[in-house]
Amino acid sequence: MWVIGVTYQSPDVDPIGLNKKVEMEDLGLPVKQVNTMHVYYIQSNATKEQIEKACKELLADPIIQDYTYQQDTNSLQLAETSSWLIEVKNKPGVTDAVGESTKKGLETLGLEVDQVHTAFTYSIEGQLEEEQIKQIAEKILANPLIQEYKYVRK
Amino acid sequence: MKPKQIQITSANEQQLITISKKGLLSLSKKEMKAIQKYYQQQGREPTDAELETIAQTWSEHCIHKTFNALIDTPDGQIDSLFKTYIFKATNELDKKWCISVFKDNAGIVKFDDEHAVAMKVETHNHPTALDPYGGAGTGTGGVFRDVMGVGAKPILSTNMLFFGPLDIPHTQLPPGTMHPKRLMKGSVAGIRDYGNRMGIPTANGGVAFDQGYIGNPLVYAGTVGIMPKNKYICNAQSGDLILLVGGKTGRDGIHGVTFASVELEETSEKTSSGAVQIGNPVEEKKTLDGLLRARDCDALPLYSAITDCGGGGLSSAIGEMGKELGVEVHLDKVPLKYAGLEPWEIWISEAQERMILIVPPENKESILEIFKNENCLATIIGKLRNDKKLVLYHEQDKVAELEMSFLHSVPKITRKAKWKKIEEKEPNLPEKITYGEDLKKILRSPNVASKEWVIRQYDHEVQAKTVIKPLQGKAQGPGNACVLKPKYDSWKGIVISNGVNSKYSENPYNMTLSAIDEALRNNVCCGGRRIAILDNFSWGSPSNPETMGALVKACEACYDGAKGFDTPLISGKDSLHNEYKVKGKTMAIPHTMVISAIGIIPDIRKAITMDLKKPGTSIYLVGETLDELGGSHYFMVNELTGGKVPGVNLARAKKTMDRLIEAIDSELILSCHDCSEGGLAVTAAEMSFAGGLGMTIDLEHVPTNLEREDKILFSESNSRFLVEVTNEKKFEEKMKELPFAKIGKVTQEPELKIKERRSLDPNIDDKKKLVINEKIKDLKNEWEATFKW
């Protein structure tokens, strides 16, 4: 199992983060910054070189994005500066269309892949209480009908 | 997995209702009893798959129960709204250029000698309420497939969205609903991602807001497609194979169709997870590519019939295809996303991106090869029979066997209709000295305000066919309609427009006529003629007699409008039961009638945009301004209700539009914009700031009996056009016998100046005071402020 995280080099080029920040402000919450990361959980015995290639050629845009990857882990420890981290992903059984396309893309690059799941993490800077983080998760980031979320405080 | 039997033959009425409710079947007592009787005669109990099949086939979504119902009205009984109004108009008009109407997934009309265009509009309201991104996205993907389902290639995506007010505080939202802003952002993203990723331009549409949509947003998605005329085929024979192409089947969207006939409740958001569908545009693109190759690789398509899997999934698509002949399906052959689905779940799943092709056995290998090359799943799952039976197998087990004659003999329902008294009391509003502030308020109001935030997210250029785009003029104003040039070797174009105004819903007859008039005049403004229209209803529950009465009135207006304008209805969609229960109280949406119009322009080089072009040219107002401010934006911004909802003088409206087309063809017109929300004042403002020029208007010359300036400025009377005219003499000749007048001219100075109707001294025109005197830049800023997200 490989976990790949793709982040933006600067918050100015992170359109989803910028949008979500405005929505959090609409809720009246004191948010300073939101950084997003696309996360790919890849079930594969691929080599480090293959994963590096996949990041470069398929998953990250080298102009504005950075990537990082780890093997044999279930979560990525990133975004050291943020005070909260929320991860949103589809509930089991809900079609992960991005995951399916990623699997096909990886196979085209010559990797052998069993399955790909995707998730989205939001690292949020600001003086926020746990209740407010739940509110953000449910009102803005996740649709509880089809998605689940978890959060950690730094 | 042995088929489960459901005990109904000995059930009493109450138990029958419980079975229907528990299974989310949405079958009424009368329908359950008809089913019971059938199985008593058969001497056995139904299987779960059979009961599900019946529920899907008999759902409002699939067979339009209400539109086929017997309706008791105060003026006598109506047998089917379809037969009495909708189909009747089209049949009576009997246009030779209509190729397929109300029969297929989409309406098809002639484009030129080789090609035909297909159009369809669908609603996807309930799924959007639950998951705006997925709901609006799959609504869009679904209507693309409707057009693909007649063998056409989608060339335009259009949509109309309706939400609650954007400024409502979270605390005032009914429990279990999403905030209108979240719904809007999610819906726009869903439509954007589906259209952009499939490479289909989204170049037309609208967004409107009303208190009534808080608990129940509406999403209409429409598609226009083009196809060679001789590739339209519907010739299935018994023995032909059933080919399922596209995505895999999962548990998504189970009961979407029957769920659509249920009122949303506070708990809907949590309990109806199955009703949400997940879209995958890339999958659909591959399906489309395979389909077009199968269509075009030989003189005749490799398939003998084609349809899409929409609401009701395989059960509706295959049930309909096999109606005349009978059909058998091996459900275990259907490719699944994951194991563990019950046979009936496979049968009714609304998993997206799937289509059904009926293939003559001799073409089997070549068509499988095509889809294999496109990297798209294609599986033979059954064949057509000759005994008029629907038979389902799962591995060795027969899980359903139904007679088509029973499956398609839905018990006719009876509805009651009551006419609601139409209040037209004029509100009391003092006159003001100037109306600049009112104009600005209307420009800021979300229905009128610039939707650039939405428009710019959609790719409206892909396929390189879009001639007239959503924002027009060097300074960008709101266009009337979209013009496409579908063929590279012909100047002929397609004009697509919409009409809707649910603020008129107090008077459903006038509201519908107004929507038809608006759709047509938007089309005519750009040069569209030979127009066909699509009727798309979103209504509250038809079991409420007043709601039902409003539906009857709207259908009556569809008939009168279609006949009066000589424009056939070619396809339609009804979404009823748009209600929402909060704390035991039922809230219904305003009756919402969307009319989509598709016209033809012989030469797109003569198409007209709405922005002012040339300083010094004269401005004409065509059409009469009446005291019709009921549901107007002027009343809305002044927080008033009442007044008369605009009606349509059909004979005169038709003549006006015909003459205007002649004037466009004779190149007498530089720009043209219709008067709709906000009336004359808003139209003048929009034309001015789109062109970056100014306009002076003298209200004295406006054709009207009205004296009050505010009414002349803001009345929303139909069939009116503001026209920038190059050849005045010829234009006046064309318009004679119609109410029209030269009311002003275009100015270099970027200001909108509107003079009062009466001046104290009639000899000194210059002394007339200005009721509106605004800088174009300020008006534009107001118009753009609301959606600067």
* Residues of chain B falling short of pLDDT 50: 268-273
Nearest Cβ partner for B269 among A90, A139, A145: A145
Token digits of residue A93: 């059984």
pLDDT score recorded for residue B266: 52
Q: Residue with structure tokens 């499988």?
A: B368
Q: Are A144 and B269 an interchain contact pair (Cβ–Cβ within 8 Å)? A: yes
Residue B136 CA: distances (Å) to CA of A120, B140, B142, B502, B691: 21, 6, 10, 20, 34
d(CA B256, CA B59) in angstroms, rounded, equals: 10
pLDDT score recorded for residue A56: 94
d(CA B121, CA B225) in angstroms, rounded, equals: 12
Angle CA(B244)–CA(B246)–CA(B250) in degrees, nearest 5? 85
Question: Which residue range is the domain that position A90 belongs to?
Answer: 2-153
Nearest Cα to Cα of residue B589 among B555, B556, B547, B633: B547
Among positive and negative, which fits the CA dihedral B545, B548, B554, B558? negative
Beta bridge partners of A42: A2, A116
Name the phi and psi angles at A10, rounded to 5: -145, 145
Write the DSSP string, B31-44.
HHHHHHHHHHHHTS
pLDDT digits (tens, 9 = 90+) for A56-98: 999 999 999 999 998 877 665 555 556 899 999 988 878 888 9
Residue B622 CA: distances (Å) to CA of A137, B519, B690, B725: 54, 17, 20, 11
Please classify residue B105 by burial: count the beta carbons closer than 10 Å to its beta carbon, then call 0-12 exposed, 13-18 middle and 19+ buried: buried
- Let me know: does A95 contact A89? Beta carbons within 8 Å: no
Q: Who contacts B760 (Cβ-Cβ below 8 Å, separation ≥6)?
A: B767
Q: How far is CA A70 from the centre of its chain?
A: 14
Q: Are A95 and B337 an interchain contact pair (Cβ–Cβ within 8 Å)? A: yes
Q: Are B269 and A146 an interchain contact pair (Cβ–Cβ within 8 Å)? A: no
Tally of residues, chain A: 154
Among positive and negative, which fits the CA dihedral A74, A78, A80, A85? negative
Number of domains in chain A: 1
How close does chain A come to B386, measured CA to CA in Å?
37
- Is beta strand B414-416 parallel, antiparallel or unpaired with respect to B70-73? parallel
pLDDT score recorded for residue A95: 82
d(CA B318, CA B323) in angstroms, rounded, equals: 8
pLDDT score recorded for residue B714: 97
d(CA B38, CA B33) in angstroms, rounded, equals: 9
Q: Are B269 and A95 an interchain contact pair (Cβ–Cβ within 8 Å)? A: no
Write the DSSP string, A62-129.
TTTEEEEEEES-SS----TT-SEEEEEEEPTTS--HHHHHHHHHHHHTT--EEEEEEEEEEEEEES--
Mean pLDDT of chain A: 89
Nearest Cβ partner for A145 among B130, B182, B251: B130
H or E stretch at B765: none
Edge-first strand order for the sheet with A65-71 is A65-71, A2-8, A31-44, A113-126, A84-90, A147-153
The CATH number that applies at residue A140 is 3.30.1280.10
pLDDT score recorded for residue B759: 62
Nearest-by-CA chain A residue for B169: A27
- Let me know: does B440 contact B678? Beta carbons within 8 Å: no
Nearest Cβ partner for B278 among A27, A95, A139: A95
Here the ipTM equals 0.88
Token digits of residue B3: 């088929």
Token digits of residue B223: 């598609």
